[in-house]
């Protein structure tokens, strides 16, 4: 078959897999219709291109791929354990599917296939049986179930666990949470694509039986032990992660973050670089051997690496392409890397079509495509450099060009030192990977021997950590540009492909680069500097507001450490925020100060910090204020009645100190935030509204009363007194709370006040057009992609 036709048909299968994101019949009907349209139009325009039947076949293949992906999309069965959530106390029995890994909260995580569930009967059932004279000594019933569970448990309980063991775990069943805030990771969707629809927070684990098979876990265990004995922790763990990837071995989360921040996350994800490096080293050693011997040795290297590193999409892709190269070496046929890449993509998507949504899968293929089609032309353009330096620069630049649009679409940020850091660290990474694998194989045979070989690698591993730490310490190491829209990403890739394929654009590649940068950066910059948006986050009972207006960013409260790390910082990063101009704290409590500390340790800077002052602050909060002052942040407390003029159209006023009451004034709407809204605080606030008369001289002016009138009332979800509601007289009420009582709901309905609460509606967004919309409403109206 013609190579071009084969490549086009592979792309059709990949496109059909992507199209499965459309709802139901619309997916396969649109792919079939598009193929029919291309068959009618393209042969007329491109007369030397593929025949008409090829385009019709494209539509058919895309339609089949779409149907296949929808068929393979997991759905909970009638007997799935997800049907039992939530349950506070349950005993689940099943088989561990993967070796336990470390979570960010220092617990162990793994998935397990369940076969039975034991749950406690309700009190009414037990009482009924007791009244009927039945024995109630055992109030447990065991039922067979199916499905998979995402399980977390303490590290001490997880010690020694491995894939294949049968365990019994007592804990709490829950439904994984989806994304309730903009930019938040959708954990429920991530698990659903793996066929997991429930989670288990384990408390007590009992081992039932050992695995019935001997797996690669024992080899990985000895390999990691050799690295750790030779280099200690955490450098030994880092060496194991460099060799096998951090999916099969743990390193501290702060190290992962440092590597990711400077664009070196690929070094900790076993991928095509590892396979190419190992095969290249093997072929260099075997350069005087016959092609058949090279094929055998190369296949053995691939097999060993697959057993040790596991079958992640990026590793399988690299292994398929590597095997294709070895076959070409034996048959002495010219290698076609593009065809191999397309074939590898289709083969993997047939194995598991939902890998199409795996970010590692997408980045791996894009980076490999960049190396295939862009690295060599870039090297030819760098004739002013020595050949070795040109090759060293062209590889990271080519990969960077092809992954940048996707990276900005997903994360909205990049490291400006990415290319330079990659050039510096790649030689040490190469030495560490090859040397670490050799040391690990020696450790599998005899651990002390592997430890000795690992110790020899202390210098390159130390150099890697030093370069990463140095790059993270550079000014503006990471820049938050804000996420780009889907059309920007697609248009950027269209332009990149034109520069790759079209002769006119190849001669004018600099124009292409300028246009791509304009498409990516100009709309995002204009939107960031012109938009007026208020977002109230779903963060439990902590009221958190993010305001962006004319390039200024205002943050009211930061929440606890987890909220700041997984909700607030991703939102700020994806919004293109590099500096918080005004940070306002309404509550100086210990847990709340951890959120501000998390932001202080991130790449986002704080210019001015204000709090309500007064009262007894915690030691942690006082320490936080000192650290901010030392960092050069303008720190002070607000006085009652003081107005912060952020812009002429946006002002913030402290109306009352205890309880904390803020007024946020825009040119269209007035907000009132009552941070502490328990009934006693409300009564105290209402007392201040009563007229005060000076007994000695009634003619003297009385202290000004706080003005509580507002269009939008924002509070923490506690009961609102009727007198307070009448005094504020809002049109809209928004509660930052997981649940709200029926009395408050009825009260709002009687007063004809629109009521939102974050526990039901997710994050709430308000725009300058005076439009309030919940995140749940936005998701319902959003395009499926």
Q: Are 408 and 487 in contact (CB under 8 A)?
A: no
In the predicted model, is pLDDT for residue 21 greater than 50? yes
Largest Cα–Cα distance in the chain?
A: 110
Contact 166, 208 (CB under 8 A): yes
| Range of weakest confidence among 131-140, 356-365, 602-611 | 131-140
Q: Residue 207: CB partners within 8 Å, gap ≥ 6?
A: 161, 165, 166, 167
In this prediction, residues 478-498 reach a mean pLDDT of: 89
Residue 622: per-residue pLDDT: 81
Give the residue-averaged pLDDT of 138-162. Answer: 85
Residue 99 has pLDDT above 50, yes or no: yes
Give the bridge partners for 652, in sequence order: 644, 664
Mean pLDDT, residues 346-352 = 90
At residue 624, the pLDDT reads 84
Least trusted range by pLDDT, from 113-127, 314-328, 377-391: 113-127
State the pLDDT at residue 161.
Answer: 86
Confidence of residue 472 (pLDDT cuts 50, 70, 90): confident
d(CA 150, CA 179): 17
Q: How confident is the model at residue 123 (pLDDT cuts 50, 70, 90)?
A: very low
Between 317 and 434, the more confident residue is: 434
Superfamily (CATH) of domain 81-122+138-213 = Nucleic acid-binding proteins (2.40.50.140)
- The dihedrals phi and psi of 287, each to the nearest 5 degrees, come to -65, -25
Report in angstroms the alpha-carbon separations of 713 from 577, 654, 663, 671, 706: 27, 15, 10, 6, 15
Using CA atoms, how far apart are residues 505 and 583, in angstroms rounded to an integer?
47
DSSP 587-635: ---HHHHHHHHHHHTSS-EEEEEEE---S---HHHHHHHHHHHHTT-EE
Residue 272 and residue 364 in contact, taking contact as beta carbons nearer than 8 Å: yes
The mean pLDDT of 383-407, rounded to a whole number, is 84
- pLDDT at position 196, please? 93
Q: Are 208 and 93 in contact (CB under 8 A)?
A: yes
The sign of the CA dihedral 227, 228, 229, 232 is positive
Q: How confident is the model at residue 350 (pLDDT cuts 50, 70, 90)?
A: very high
Q: Tokens 């960031």 label which residue?
A: 528
Residues 565 and 599: beta-carbon distance below 8 Å: no
pTM for this model (two decimals): 0.85
Average pLDDT of the segment spanning 651-669: 84
Highest mean pLDDT among 293-302, 400-409, 647-656: 400-409
Two tokens at 178?
A: 């989806």
Q: Which of 461-470, 511-520, 621-630 has the highest mean pLDDT?
A: 461-470
Residue 400: both structure tokens together? 């960077």
Can you tell me whether residue 223 is helix, strand or coil? helix
Residue 475 scores a pLDDT above 90: no
Confidence of residue 617 (pLDDT cuts 50, 70, 90): low
pLDDT at 199: 94
- For strand 532-536 and strand 478-480, is the pairing parallel, antiparallel, or unpaired? unpaired
Element (H, E) at 226: helix 217-231
Provide the pLDDT for residue 180: 87
Is 551 within 8 Å of 529 (Cβ atoms)? yes
Mean pLDDT of 480-492: 89
Are the beta carbons of 356 and 366 closer than 8 angstroms?
A: no
Q: Would you state the structure tokens that stand for residue 505, as one six-digit string?
A: 């654009």
Residue 768 has pLDDT above 70, yes or no: no
Q: How confident is the model at residue 166 (pLDDT cuts 50, 70, 90)?
A: very high
pLDDT tens digits along 24-49: 677 777 887 887 888 788 777 777 77
| One fold for 81-122+138-213 and 531-689+703-776 | no
Euclidean distance between CA atoms 92 and 84, whole angstroms: 11
Give the pLDDT confidence score for residue 215 in this predicted structure.
63
Contact assessment for residue 193 and residue 153, using Cβ atoms and an 8 Å cutoff = no
What integer pLDDT is reported at residue 781 of this predicted model?
42
User: Is residue 702 scored above 60 in pLDDT?
Assistant: no
Average pLDDT of the residues of the chain: 83
Most confident range (mean pLDDT) of 11-25, 156-170, 686-700 is: 156-170
CB 486 within 8 A of CB 460: no
Instruction: List, for residues 509-542, the tens digit of each pLDDT value.
Output: 888 888 888 888 888 777 777 778 889 999 888 8
Which pLDDT belongs to residue 168?
93
Number of residues that make up the chain: 785
* Between 108 and 265, residue with greater pLDDT: 108
- How far is C-alpha 117 from the chain's CA centre? 31
- Residues 299 and 275: beta-carbon distance below 8 Å: no
Q: How far is CA 188 from CA 184, 192, 194, 249, 302, in A?
A: 11, 6, 10, 24, 34
- Is 2.60.40.10 the CATH classification of the domain at 531-689+703-776? no
Return the H-helix or E-strand segment holding 45. Answer: helix 25-45
Check pLDDT > 90 for residue 586.
Answer: no
Whether the CB-CB separation of 673 and 715 falls below 8 Å is answered with yes
Choose the weakest-confidence range: 46-55, 489-498, 599-608, 732-741.
46-55
Residue whose pair of structure tokens reads 């509606």 in the numeric block: 761
Burial 89-101 (b: 16+ CB within 10 A, else e): ebbbbbbbbbbbe
Would the pLDDT of 428 be above 80?
yes
- Number of neighbouring beta carbons within 10 Å of residue 378: 18
Segment among 397-401, 536-540, 759-763, 774-778 with least mean pLDDT: 774-778
Nearest to 282 by CA among 315, 305, 307, 249: 305
Using CB atoms within 10 A of its CB, is residue 737 exposed (0-12), middle (13-18) or buried (19+)? buried
> What's the sign of the alpha-carbon dihedral 502, 504, 506, 512?
negative
Summarised one tens digit per residue, pLDDT across range 208-230 is: 887 766 667 778 888 888 999 98
Joined tokens for residue 778:
């936005």
694 or 149: which carries more pLDDT confidence? 149
Please determine, for residue 111, whether its predicted confidence score (pLDDT) is greater than 90: yes
Domain boundaries of the chain, sorted by first residue: 3-72, 81-122+138-213, 220-383+419-479, 384-416+484-521, 531-689+703-776
pLDDT of residue 159: 84
The pLDDT of 705-712, averaged and rounded, is 81
The pLDDT > 70 percentage for the chain reads: 90
Q: What percent of the chain has pLDDT over 90?
A: 16
């Amino acid at each position: 078959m013609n190579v071009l036709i084969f490549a086009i048909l592979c792309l059709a299968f990949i496109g059909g897999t992507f199209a499965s994101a459309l709802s139901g019949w619309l997916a396969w009907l649109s792919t079939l219709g598009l193929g029919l349209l291309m068959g009618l139009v393209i042969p007329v325009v491109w007369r030397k291109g593929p025949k008409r039947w090829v385009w019709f076949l494209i539509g058919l293949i895309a339609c089949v791929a779409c149907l296949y992906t929808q068929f393979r999309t997991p759905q909970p069965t009638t007997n799935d354990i997800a049907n039992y959530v939530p349950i506070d106390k349950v005993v689940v029995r099943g088989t561990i599917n993967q070796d336990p890994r470390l979570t960010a909260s220092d617990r162990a995580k793994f998935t397990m296939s369940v076969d039975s569930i034991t749950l406690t009967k309700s009190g009414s059932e037990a009482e009924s049986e007791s009244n009927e004279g039945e024995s109630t000594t055992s109030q447990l019933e065991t039922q067979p179930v199916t499905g998979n569970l995402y399980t977390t448990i303490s590290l001490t309980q997880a010690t020694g666990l491995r894939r294949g063991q049968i365990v019994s775990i007592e804990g709490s069943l829950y439904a994984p949470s989806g994304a309730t805030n903009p930019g938040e990771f959708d954990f429920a969707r991530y698990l659903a694509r793996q066929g997991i629809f429930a989670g288990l927070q384990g408390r007590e684990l009992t081992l039932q039986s050992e695995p019935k098979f001997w797996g690669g876990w024992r080899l990985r265990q000895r390999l990691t032990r050799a690295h750790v004995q030779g280099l200690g922790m955490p450098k030994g763990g880092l060496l194991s992660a460099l060799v096998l990837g951090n999916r099969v071995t743990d390193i501290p989360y702060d190290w992962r973050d440092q590597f990711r921040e400077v664009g070196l996350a690929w070094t900790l994800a076993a991928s095509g670089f590892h396979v190419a490096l190992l095969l290249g080293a093997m072929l260099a050693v075997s350069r005087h051997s016959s092609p058949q011997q090279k094929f055998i040795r190369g296949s053995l290297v691939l097999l060993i690496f697959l057993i040790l590193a596991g079958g992640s999409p990026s590793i399988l892709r690299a292994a398929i392409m590597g095997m294709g190269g070895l076959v070409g070496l034996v048959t002495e046929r010219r290698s076609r890397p593009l065809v191999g890449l397309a074939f590898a993509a289709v083969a993997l998507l047939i194995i598991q079509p939902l890998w199409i949504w795996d970010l590692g899968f997408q980045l791996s293929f894009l980076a490999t495509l960049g190396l295939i089609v862009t690295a060599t032309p870039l090297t030819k353009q760098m004739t002013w450099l020595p050949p070795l330096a040109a090759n060293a620069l062209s590889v990271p630049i080519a990969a960077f060009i092809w992954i940048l649009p996707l990276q900005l679409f997903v994360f909205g940020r990049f490291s400006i030192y990415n290319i330079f850091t990659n050039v510096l660290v790649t030689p040490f990474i190469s030495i560490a990977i090859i040397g670490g694998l050799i040391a690990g194989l020696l450790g599998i045979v005899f651990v002390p021997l592997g430890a000795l070989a690992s110790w020899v690698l202390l210098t390159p591993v130390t150099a890697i950590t030093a370069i990463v730490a140095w790059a993270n310490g550079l000014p503006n190491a990471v820049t938050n540009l804000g996420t780009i829209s889907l059309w920007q990403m697609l248009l950027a890739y269209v332009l990149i492909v034109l520069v790759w394929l079209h002769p006119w654009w190849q001669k004018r590649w600099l124009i292409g680069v300028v246009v791509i940068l304009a498409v990516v950066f100009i709309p995002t910059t204009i939107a960031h500097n012109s938009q007026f948006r208020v977002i109230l986050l779903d963060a439990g009972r902590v009221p958190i507001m993010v305001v962006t207006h004319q390039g200024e960013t205002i943050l009211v409260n930061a929440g606890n450490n987890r909220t700041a790390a997984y909700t607030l910082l991703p939102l700020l990063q994806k919004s293109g925020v590099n500096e918080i101009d005004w940070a306002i704290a309404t509550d100086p409590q210990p847990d709340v100060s951890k959120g501000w500390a998390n932001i202080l340790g991130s790449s986002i800077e704080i210019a001015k910090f204000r709090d309500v002052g007064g009262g007894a602050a915690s030691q942690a909060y006082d320490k936080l204020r000192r650290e901010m002052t030392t960092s050069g942040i303008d720190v002070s407390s607000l006085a009652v009645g003081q107005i912060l003029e952020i812009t002429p159209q946006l002002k913030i006023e402290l109306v009352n100190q205890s309880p904390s009451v803020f007024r946020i004034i825009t040119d269209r709407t007035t907000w009132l935030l009552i941070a502490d809204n328990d009934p006693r605080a409300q009564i105290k606030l209402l007392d201040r509204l009563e007229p005060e008369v000076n007994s000695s001289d009634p003619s003297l002016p009385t202290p000004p009363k706080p003005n509580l009138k507002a269009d939008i009332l924002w509070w923490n979800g506690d009961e609102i007194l009727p007198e307070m509601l009448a005094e504020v007289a809002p049109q809209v009420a928004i509660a930052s709370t997981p649940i709200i009582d029926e009395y408050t709901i009825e009260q709002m309905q009687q007063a004809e006040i629109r009521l939102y609460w974050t526990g039901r509606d997710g994050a709430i967004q308000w725009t300058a057009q005076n439009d309030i919309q919940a995140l749940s409403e936005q998701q319902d109206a959003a395009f499926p992609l």
